[in-house]
Structure 1
Amino acid sequence: MANDNAPRLEPRLFHPRYWASWLGLGTLWLLTLLPWRSQMWLGCQLGHLATKVLASRVKIARRNLELAMPELSVAERELLLTRNFESVGCAIFEVGIAWFWPDWRVRNLMKVEGEEHVRAAIVKGQGMLLLSCHFLTLELNARCFGLVCPGVGVYRPNTNPVLEYAQYHGRCMSNKYLVNRNDVKGMIKALRQGDALWYAPDHDYGARASVFVPYFAVAQAATVTGTATLARVKNTVTLPCYNIRTKEGYTLHIGAPLANYPQGDDVLDATRANQEIEAAVRKAPEQYMWLHRRFKTRPSPEDASVY
């Protein structure tokens, strides 16, 4: 379903400098042939290894949990940290599942809650802004939603052309095409055409085009205002959308259209978006991408780093 601007399989991609990338992708494909439960078990073991190897990321995740959930005891946060890195390991295998599995195999593991909200928007010819977040299952979020209604993804192109080729076409296995995260016009065009647009505004993208509003227990977290900008596109509804791993597979949650959103006030709208995302994350906090420095941008350049 990729468009004409999708990366092509060109001879230059087989240069020896990219052989390691092809080897990695081939290994990932082979691992996806294993039963799902075996992949998840291996993922947990890989996650335990990651805590030993990725010391700096463990430190960031621990600090994020301390800032975001001070109501938890130290022991509770450490247990959550351990489970989070197990999920990080599982996410590696889930990339392969999302990119390489056939539709029937993905469908066997997925459940959908709230599909009626998508169907209602389609009947009305509305564009759908999918308010999502960086769960570690985000690759499967896009794949599963595409099996409900093929949509458009917002992404950051990879500088490695082999990985960019795999990423683009893998994410378009059940979707239409991808838009560069800096291409706001492309996002607006997709919504105006009545497409579903996957959008995750929960990372720290700096002070530019951001406001400082609460996110979890952090009173002033840099939050982009782009969510409300896109939600203002004519005939667009905003649907919370996220995917959670369960013991049986994955549940794709699609929420009802946000009422009275946006309101036209950047602070109020960004706060509302953060509240929706936080509510989703609290359902499975161990599956969230805590290893990103979410609170690195401070309201003032003179403010000390929280890390």
Structure 2
Amino acid sequence: MSRVGVAALWLLHWLPLPVLAACGQALGRVLWWFARGRRSVVLTNLRLCFPELDEGARRALARRHFGVLGRSLLERSLLWWAPRARLLRLVSFADEGRVDELLAGGRPVILLAPHFVGLDMGGTRVTMSFDIVSIYARQSNAVFDRWFFHGRSRFGDQLLLAREDGARPTVKAMKAGRPFYYLPDMDYRRKDSIFVPFFGVPAATITGLSRLSRLAGAAVVPCVTRMLPGGQGYRIETGEPWADFPTDDVAADTLRMNRWLETVVRTMPEQYYWVHRRFKTRPPGEPRLY
């Protein structure tokens, strides 16, 4: 069955992006109705993070999320098989020179890349410009694991590490001039995490951004990938390096990251990865939310 799915994706990658995007939106509507467990997770997350919205508005937002999620699943086929020239047309990279300048000046760089649905599209586009270091989580399905790994490493000389490898090889790679494409905004249980608010809800959040920035002397550059409407492609937006970061207060640094992320999420709330159980780890004594 896995090979059938991969074959179907291979066929779909030949479609023009507007047609592929429409197919993805249709897939999202199917997922909305049949992926009931994930639909419940999304609605719970939106209830917690957007209490100001009524139930109808939250369900409408959830439906839009499934639409862009379906797109991201099918458009992943482009990352696996589309030629370099096509990807360069589909994914623009705003302010790419900002990263070049930091690296040319000998400054290690952390690209802070939150979990929006365009994350992998942005990551592949970044690897077309830089040899990076990133964390790769192996997939339980061997067929899909092969293609996920292929998609993230097919351009350039990429260094994909396991989370179990620890901080040392990542810091070494950054000091050697590899930008670190870093995704620190998921619930990784209690290890290396502290509870800080995310949309006002205590969330187990890893403190790696502050620690790795300090260890490597790295600049933190926000790196957000937006999925554009109507099959227009994607845009990577890089911000100015964070000033006065890191500080001596790891909790304050981690809270700063979450507050920044909240601001970005509000600019495209349907594109954040709401199917993830972001609040599954609770402070002692608090009930489960899912």
TM-score (norm 2): 0.94
In structure 2, what is the Cα distance between the partners aligned to 1:295 and 1:236?
A: 29
Asked whether the equivalents of residues 211 and 250 of structure 2 are also in contact (C-alpha less than 8 Å), the reply is: no
| Residue type at the aligned position of 1:87 | V
Q: Which residue of 1 aligns with 2:192?
A: 209
1:227 equivalent to 2:209? Answer yes
Asked whether the equivalents of residues 69 and 217 of structure 1 are also in contact (C-alpha less than 8 Å), the reply is: no
1:92 equivalent to 2:73? Answer yes
Q: Residue 134 of structure 2 aligns to a residue in which SS?
A: strand
Structure 1 residues 145, 163: CA separation in 2 closer, same or farther (over 3 Å shift)? same
1:159 equivalent to 2:143? Answer no
Q: Which residue of 2 aligns with 1:252?
A: 236
Q: Residue 252 of structure 1 aligns to a residue in which SS?
A: strand
In structure 2, list runs of 5 or more residues that go unmatched.
none
Give a deviation string over 1:15-71, Cα, whole Å, max 9, x none: xxxxx3333212211100001011110001100000111101101100100101112
1:65 equivalent to 2:37? Answer no
1:189 equivalent to 2:172? Answer yes
In structure 2, what is the Cα distance between the partners aligned to 1:239 and 1:169?
A: 26
In structure 1, what is the Cα distance between the partners aligned to 2:56 and 2:177?
A: 47
Which of 182, 192, 197 matches 1:199? 182
Asked whether the equivalents of residues 68 and 117 of structure 2 are also in contact (C-alpha less than 8 Å), the reply is: yes
In structure 2, what is the Cα distance between the partners aligned to 1:285 and 1:117?
A: 26
Which of 98, 101, 104 matches 1:117? 98
| Residue type at the aligned position of 2:102 | A
| Residue type at the aligned position of 1:246 | L
| Residue type at the aligned position of 1:78 | R
Q: Which residue of 2 aligns with 1:47?
A: 28
In structure 2, what is the Cα distance between the partners aligned to 1:181 and 1:114?
A: 29
Identity of aligned residues (%): 34
Q: Which residue of 2 aligns with 1:129?
A: 110
Structure 1 residues 174, 285: CA separation in 2 closer, same or farther (over 3 Å shift)? farther
In structure 1, what is the Cα distance between the partners aligned to 2:164 and 2:119?
A: 19
In the alignment of these two chains, the number of paired residues is 286
Q: Which residue of 1 aligns with 2:7?
A: 26
In structure 2, what is the Cα distance between the partners aligned to 1:209 and 1:72?
A: 33
Q: Which residue of 1 aligns with 2:253?
A: 269
**What's the C-alpha RMSD, in Å, of the aligned pairs?**
1.4
Q: Residue 163 of structure 1 aligns to a residue in which SS?
A: helix
Give a deviation string over 1:135-168, Cα, whole Å, max 9, x none: 1111101011122323222121123333222111
In structure 2, what is the Cα distance between the partners aligned to 1:62 and 1:177?
A: 36
Which of 213, 217, 225 matches 1:243? 225
Asked whether the equivalents of residues 171 and 216 of structure 2 are also in contact (C-alpha less than 8 Å), the reply is: no
1:75 equivalent to 2:59? Answer no
